[in-house]
Structure 1
Amino acid sequence: MPPDERRAAIVDATLPLVLQHGAGVSTRQIAEAAHVAEGTIFRVFPDKDALMHAVTEKAFDPGPALRELSEVDRDQSLRDRLVAATRILQRRLSGVFGLLDALGLNRPPGGARCRAQAPSTMNDAFRAAIVDLIGPDEHRLRVSAAELAHVLRLLVVSGTHPRITDGRPLAAEEIVAVLLDGLRRPGTPAAPSALRPTGRESVTMIED
């Protein structure tokens, strides 16, 4: 197996072990999971810290999730597209939050290549992907597609983080229902415009 493929295989085998055992996972456990000799790990990585760095880099790489978002079927309804997108975002964040917790970190490690892309740039990329997913249905919204994408991201982060949710994460369908429908009972009048949130025409984001 070429070195690059061997490296990727070892990283792929290590990530679930780190989620289970934290940074204390042994190279012997990694070797067994990757089906290689323990010495092979150190022919690919100079030390265990380098391997942990590669695992963190993989977990924070936005590329796979962005590709999944681009592949969501545009023939689905807006609601179904947003549910699919929310599931993709939740899978990514669950992995990120799980890794940080396993490593005992509150934020991504500084100085790592996984942070070469500024958080603002990464967030912009995800918002742009959601805007693209909304596409021609933007006219049905009471806010811009960019605003909906921003609020969706906030709901996904807060509704997925294990500590914020107290172990009760929101399902993708629930997040999208809050986003598009709000929490008013059907037929209940909306609040007067003076009491509505600044910058939005209504809690409900889609035209009735």
Structure 2
Amino acid sequence: MAPEERRAALIAATIPLLHEHGVDVSTRQIAQAAGVAEGTIFGVFETKTSLVVCSVVKALDPEPTLEALGAIDLAAPLRERLAAAADLVHERFAKNAQLMTAARKLVIAAQDQDTVKRMTAGREALHAAIVSVIEPDAGQLRRPPGAVATLLLMFCGANTYGPFGDPTNFSGAETVSLLLDGLLTRGAQ
């Protein structure tokens, strides 16, 4: 197997282990999952940390979410578009909650500026994709689409990571209702 293929195979084997065990996964577990000798890992990666960082970055690749956001029908009503976007973001955050927390620690510890740039670019692309979903109805909003996108991401993040979050019962539609309607019942002062 060529080095790049071996590298990709090790990353692919590591991602499910990261979801299961977090960043404390052992090189023995990774080698076993990849079907290689443990020393093979270090023929492709300098350290276990470098393999874990590459695997976390790959697992957090925003492209599938960006594609799904791009497929939202911009002719649909704003509330419907935003609910679909919120559901996609909730799903992404919930699926990767453990990895996102680990990624912050790993990237800071590794002081790898290239990885920081890639992760920042991914966050910016996610924000921009949500802005695109909102922009057709910008004139109906008191805040610019970028600010609304930030609030949507904040609510989804707090619902996933915050101590009071409830991702199973707090849907995209509920998030959008909070954003667009606030907390007062209709007609309440």
Do the two structures share a fold, i.e. TM-score over 0.5? Answer: yes
Separation (CA, whole Å) in 2 of partners of 1:168 and 1:22: 22
Separation (CA, whole Å) in 2 of partners of 1:155 and 1:2: 44
Separation (CA, whole Å) in 2 of partners of 1:60 and 1:30: 18
Separation (CA, whole Å) in 2 of partners of 1:151 and 1:183: 15
1:98 CA displacement: 0.5
Amino acid at match of 2:181: D
* 2:188 paired residue number: 188
Amino acid at match of 2:73: D
| CA spacing shift, 1:87–1:11, aligned 2, 3 Å | farther
* 1:160 paired residue number: 160
1:185 CA displacement: 1.0
- What is the DSSP-based 3-state SS (H/G/I as helix, E as strand, rest coil) of the residue aligned with 1:33? helix
Separation (CA, whole Å) in 2 of partners of 1:108 and 1:38: 22
* 1:115 paired residue number: 116
Number of equivalences? 184
Written as runs of structure 1 = structure 2, the 5 A alignment for 1:67-86 is 67-86=67-86
Structure 2: runs of 5+ lacking an equivalent: none
Please give the per-residue CA displacement for 1:131-153, whole angstroms capped at 9, x wherever unaligned.
Answer: 21123222232332222112112
| CA spacing shift, 1:155–1:7, aligned 2, 3 Å | same
TM-score, structure 2 as length reference: 0.76
1:51 CA displacement: 0.9
1:2 CA displacement: 4.7
1:167 CA displacement: 5.6
| CA spacing shift, 1:181–1:9, aligned 2, 3 Å | farther
Separation (CA, whole Å) in 2 of partners of 1:152 and 1:43: 43
Percent identity (aligned)? 39
* 1:54 paired residue number: 54
1:45 CA displacement: 2.2
Structure number with higher relative contact order (C-alpha < 8 Å, ≥ 6 residues apart): 2
Amino acid at match of 1:50: S
Separation (CA, whole Å) in 1 of partners of 2:16 and 2:7: 15
* 1:199 paired residue number: none
Amino acid at match of 1:92: R
Residue 133 in structure 1 maps to residue 133 in structure 2: yes
Q: Give the number of the structure whose alpha-carbon radius of gyration is greater.
A: 1
Which of the two has greater helix per residue?
2
